Amino acid sequence: MKNWFRKFVIRAKFSLIYRERVCDIFTWHGRLFVLTQSNMLYEIYEDHTDHCVITLRKYLDPSFDLEAFMEHIR
C-alpha cells in the first residue's frame, strides 16, 4: 500500500472512530504512532498472536519531550 494512502486511511479512521484530528503519523522500530491534535499519542502494533493492538501511550503536555520519550521506549 502506498505510504500516502496508508496515512490517509489512518487519518480517516481516527476521525470517524476516535473523533480525533491527526497531526502526525510515524513509525518507530516497527510500530506505528499517531499523534493527535488533542496531544494524545497512540501506538499501533501487532502482538505475538497477530492481533492489532492500539494503546494510548502518553498524554503530551507542552513541556513533554517527544524525542526523549521515543528514545526511552526503543
| Three-state secondary structure string covering the chain | CCHHHHHHHHHHHHHHHHCCCEEEEEEECCEEEEEECCCEEEEEEECCCCCEEEEEEEECCCCCCHHHHHHHCC
Q: Is the pLDDT score of 15 beyond 60?
A: yes
Judged against a pLDDT cut of 80, whether residue 60 lies above it is answered with: no
Higher model confidence: residue 40 or residue 5? Answer: 40
38 confidence band (pLDDT: 50, 70, 90): confident
What was the pLDDT predicted at 73?
65
pLDDT value of residue 14: 75
Q: How far apart are CA 7 and CA 5, in angstroms?
A: 5
Pairwise CA distance, residues 36 & 17, whole Å:
13
Domain boundaries, the chain: 3-72
